[in-house]
Amino acid sequence: MRPDPDPALPSPSRPAVATGADPDYDGALEPVLEELFEVARVEGLAVLDTPIGQTEPRVLHHLGVGGPHSLAEGWSLLRANPLRPAHIVSADRRPIMACPWVLPPGRPGGLVLWRAAGEPTWQDTDHALVAGIGVLLRTLVATGVGQIGIDRLTGLPNRRWFIDEVDRHLDRLDLGGHGGTLSVIDVGNLGLVNATAGREAGNTVLIRLAAQLRMTVRPGDAVARIAGDQFAVWQPAMDHMTAAERADALCGMRLFPDLPPSCSITLSIGIISRQPDSIGGDDTRGLLRRAREMAAAVKETGTGGWRVAQTGSRPA
């Protein structure tokens, strides 16, 4: 199951599991973080931000393995050294580095990296590298993670483009009295593939799935990569039964036959229909949230598949 949209990080004495990414994440940070992941030879890293009006941070993005204790220790470093990178070796022997920033109006956050237990501690060259990358990440976060654009890895549009595009569709469909269906495709076991077969294998999974989605959508449909391991498809004038048939066909395809048996990929698909007279007139964000809930429910089974959640109708 995917993490809570704003997973709060507790004190180091009460660490929380922090995996995955914030739901508003759209891929803008990923190219920078993936390059840093490789160059710095880390076990994991995360970008933290504190929402306006709150005191606890949320995880904007998480790469690699591990995290709970390392993130808690890293958050302590961010608070203790707000002006420059700092590092420690944790009680479980993991070298941890934190690069802090404070965004207006008083939003603390930063970049946290950790190496595996017993790996070399951080050097001055590491500090310089992380500080330089930190400046770029700070700019991306400060100007809005969700800038409209193209996901560099898959070539698909990102989440912000998808929301804007579907919002325009909904306006036109409401005027014409038509509906549509939104599907979220969640890629299961992607983290396992990255950890065991390598990040290139994980990237191949995403590229291949993106290509398959491009081939199956109609010219008027909208498809995008909306998170590190999630895609979304909006299909105007399509009912949930047809969308479910297509989801079933997608789940049945052998898209990744070259992966080892221990790295089998599952697709969990959440589907929701929207009619012009739907209760509350769900907007795109509401549809995404409901479809994600359905995908998460399927993902919990561990077998993949699809599930439909239909909105109700306004009472007569």
Domain boundaries, the chain: 30-142, 159-310
pLDDT in the model for residue 6: 36
pLDDT at 300 over 50: yes
DSSP label at residue 217:
S
CA 188 to chain centroid, in Å, comes to 12
pLDDT in the model for residue 7: 40
Reading the block at residue 33, the tokens are 């973080």
Instruction: Kindly indicate the confidence band of residue 69, based on its pLDDT and cuts at 50, 70 and 90.
Output: confident
Q: In this predicted model, which residue has the larger pLDDT, 306 or 2?
A: 306
* Highest mean predicted confidence (pLDDT) among 32-46, 73-87, 99-113, 235-249: 235-249
pLDDT at 51 over 80: no
Is the whole-model pTM more than 0.85? no
Give the range among 11-20, 136-145, 183-192, 232-241 with minimum mean pLDDT: 11-20
Indicate the Cα dihedral angle 19, 23, 24, 26, nearest 10°. Answer: 70
Instruction: Kindly indicate the confidence band of residue 292, based on its pLDDT and cuts at 50, 70 and 90.
Output: very high
Q: How far apart are CA 279 and CA 55, in angstroms?
A: 34
CA dist 137 → 14, 24, 97 (Å): 27, 16, 15
pLDDT in the model for residue 67: 67
CA dist 143 → 35, 136, 171, 175 (Å): 21, 11, 28, 34
Per residue in 131-152, pLDDT (tens digit) is 888 888 887 777 665 556 778 7
Q: How far apart are CA 225 and CA 308, in angstroms?
A: 20
Percent of the chain at pLDDT exceeding 70: 84
pLDDT at 28 over 90: no
Superfamily of domain 159-310: Reverse transcriptase/Diguanylate cyclase domain (3.30.70.270)
What is the chain's mean pLDDT, rounded?
A: 82
Average of per-residue pLDDT across 222-237: 93
Instruction: Kindly indicate the confidence band of residue 27, based on its pLDDT and cuts at 50, 70 and 90.
Output: low
pLDDT in the model for residue 209: 96
pLDDT at 2 over 80: no
- What lies within 8 Å, CB to CB, of 221 at 6+ separation is 233, 234, 235, 236
pLDDT at 272 over 80: yes
Instruction: Kindly indicate the confidence band of residue 50, based on its pLDDT and cuts at 50, 70 and 90.
Output: confident
Furthest CA-CA distance within the chain: 69
Give the range among 106-120, 131-145, 152-166, 293-307 with minimum mean pLDDT: 131-145
pLDDT in the model for residue 299: 94
Average of per-residue pLDDT across 172-178: 76
Burial readout 193-212 (b: 16 or more C-beta within 10 A, e: otherwise): bbeebeeebbbbbbeebbee
pLDDT in the model for residue 15: 33
pLDDT at 16 over 80: no
pLDDT in the model for residue 304: 94
pLDDT in the model for residue 143: 67
pLDDT in the model for residue 191: 87
Cβ atoms of 159 and 184 closer than 8 Å: no
pLDDT in the model for residue 9: 45
Q: How far apart are CA 305 and CA 293, in angstroms?
A: 14
Q: How far apart are CA 118 and CA 217, in angstroms?
A: 48
pLDDT at 305 over 60: yes
pLDDT at 282 over 80: no
CATH topology of domain 30-142: Beta-Lactamase (3.30.450)
